[in-house]
């Protein structure tokens, strides 16, 4: 990234805030220790109060109308400090932008300020038991009733549902459409609506991450439909594009590779040459992923994003994550498998990183589906 237009000053400001306000032992908000989640919530509110959480948004919705490069600086600084925005990134990266694009003025006024102030967490109700990669196969239904809709069905893998106040939910009004992508509608649903039931799933990625959501006659007022009824698929495509670029895990990989090298100190010469080579290759790949992210940001800045670039970045960053986590594990040694919860911050971070990296090639669309999208985008552009 070219250090201009305020990017250096912004990095300095963010690092100062992090130094002053983020505990030195913070490794992420989903460790299972409630104090880490509280830290992330407090830090998000701090960023919100400084108008740094959603910098790219217009001032009237809590931003500074900053360009995508400044927003990228925020993203990188957060990821290289173990993402103290916690679950807020959902609202910041894609819920807010699509509400801004497709929402009514009333929806913007209602939903955007609580996101940009760091007060409101959103979850994403897309996947269903028989509809993950094949999202068009989703079966949750919406039925018109009075001045709203009744929703029935089941979602699965809904991240952060127990701590979210709202859910960005897909449901189908008409099951008989020829193309299964037709007829899908986006509903903005309060998670405390009667009939909205969350059941947490115990998984490797830790608390709050994965849940089932059961919807039984949930009533959603008509003014909480986003965009046009039955035209949700286009919004979904936008969501996925925003979601896939908005996560700067390469910044975290870069930092952890540097830290593990530093922790080994003079012992580095004793590390087997093949492992040192893998460390160097992983570092090169993290820089490559950074450049691929910058390619997308540059096209965002120019107003036209190529879906091939988005998929290529997502593929690169998820493979990077897994490669880095393996190298880190081997360099740091067995203590990482059972880190002392009060002890070695680096070991705890590596363990946390490794667990999540495993899921990276599934969440936000599997790597196989990303490869399909990349191939399709390249062929269509020929």
Would you call 119 helix, strand, or coil by DSSP?
Answer: coil
Could you say whether residue 137 binds ligand FAD (CB under 6 A)? no
* Contact indicator for 244, 307 with CB cutoff of 8 Å: no
Toward ligand FAD, which CB reaches closer, 61 or 160? Answer: 160
CA 79 – CA 85 distance, rounded (Å):
9
Would you call 178 helix, strand, or coil by DSSP?
Answer: coil
| Residue span 105-124 as binding mask against ligand FAD, x where in contact by CB under 6 A, dash where not | ------------------xx
Q: Which tokens go with 185?
A: 């509608």
| Residue span 304-343 as binding mask against ligand FAD, x where in contact by CB under 6 A, dash where not | ----------------------------------------
Among 132, 162, 165, 221, binds ligand FAD (CB under 6 A): 132
Please choose, out of 212-220, 241-249, 313-321, 358-366, the segment that lies near ligand FAD by the rule CB under 6 A.
358-366
* Contact indicator for 247, 280 with CB cutoff of 8 Å: no
Smallest distance, ligand FAD to C-beta of residue 50, A: 27
Toward ligand FAD, which CB reaches closer, 80 or 140? Answer: 140
Angle (nearest 5°) at CA 26 between 24 and 32: 150
Among 127, 140, 300, 318, binds ligand FAD (CB under 6 A): 127
Could you say whether residue 157 binds ligand FAD (CB under 6 A)? yes
Toward ligand FAD, which CB reaches closer, 297 or 310? Answer: 310
| Residue span 159-178 as binding mask against ligand FAD, x where in contact by CB under 6 A, dash where not | x-------------------
CA 190 – CA 194 distance, rounded (Å):
9
CA 343 – CA 147 distance, rounded (Å):
56
Instruction: Restricting to residues 205-244, name those near ligand FAD by CB under 6 A.
Output: 205, 209
CA 118 – CA 165 distance, rounded (Å):
12
CA 103 – CA 16 distance, rounded (Å):
36
**Residue 171: strand pairing partners:** 185
Query: Under the rule (CB under 6 A), what is the footprint of ligand FAD?
Result: 123-127, 132-133, 157-159, 205, 209, 359, 362-363, 365-366, 368-369, 372
């Amino acid at each position: 990234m070219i250090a201009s237009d305020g990017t250096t000053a912004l990095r300095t400001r963010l690092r100062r805030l992090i130094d002053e306000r983020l505990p030195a032992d913070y490794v992420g908000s989903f460790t299972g220790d409630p104090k880490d989640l509280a830290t992330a919530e407090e830090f998000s509110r701090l960023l919100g109060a400084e108008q740094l959480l959603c910098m790219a948004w217009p001032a009237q919705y809590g931003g500074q109308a900053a360009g995508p490069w400044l927003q990228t600086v925020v993203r990188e600084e957060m990821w290289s400090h173990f993402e103290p925005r916690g679950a807020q990134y959902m609202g910041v990266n894609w819920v807010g932008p699509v509400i801004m694009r497709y929402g009514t003025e009333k929806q913007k006024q209602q939903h955007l300020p609580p996101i940009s102030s760091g007060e409101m967490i959103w979850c994403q109700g897309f996947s269903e038991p028989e509809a993950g990669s094949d999202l068009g196969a989703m079966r949750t239904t919406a039925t018109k009733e009075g001045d709203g809709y009744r929703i029935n069905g089941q979602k699965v893998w809904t991240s952060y549902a127990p701590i979210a106040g709202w859910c960005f939910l897909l449901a189908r009004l008409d099951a008989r459409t020829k193309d299964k992508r037709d007829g899908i509608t986006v509903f903005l649903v309060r998670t405390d609506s009667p009939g909205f039931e969350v059941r947490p799933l115990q998984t490797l990625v830790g608390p709050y991450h994965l849940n089932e959501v059961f919807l039984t006659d949930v009533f959603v007022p008509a003014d909480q439909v986003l965009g046009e009824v039955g035209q949700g698929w286009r919004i979904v495509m936008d969501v996925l594009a925003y979601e896939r670029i908005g996560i700067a895990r390469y910044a975290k990989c870069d930092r952890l590779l540097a830290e593990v090298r530093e922790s080994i100190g003079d012992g580095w010469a004793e590390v087997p040459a093949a492992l040192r080579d893998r460390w160097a290759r992983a570092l090169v790949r993290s820089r490559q992923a950074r450049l691929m992210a910058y390619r997308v940001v540059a096209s965002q800045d120019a107003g036209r994003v190529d879906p091939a670039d988005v998929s290529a970045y997502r593929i690169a960053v998820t493979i990077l994550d897994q490669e880095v986590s393996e190298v880190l594990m081997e360099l740091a040694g067995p203590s990482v498998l059972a880190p002392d919860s009060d002890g070695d911050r680096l070991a705890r971070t590596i363990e946390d990183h490794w667990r999540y990296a495993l899921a990276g090639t599934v969440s936000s669309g599997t790597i196989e589906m990303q490869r399909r999208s990349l191939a399709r985008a390249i062929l269509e552009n020929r």
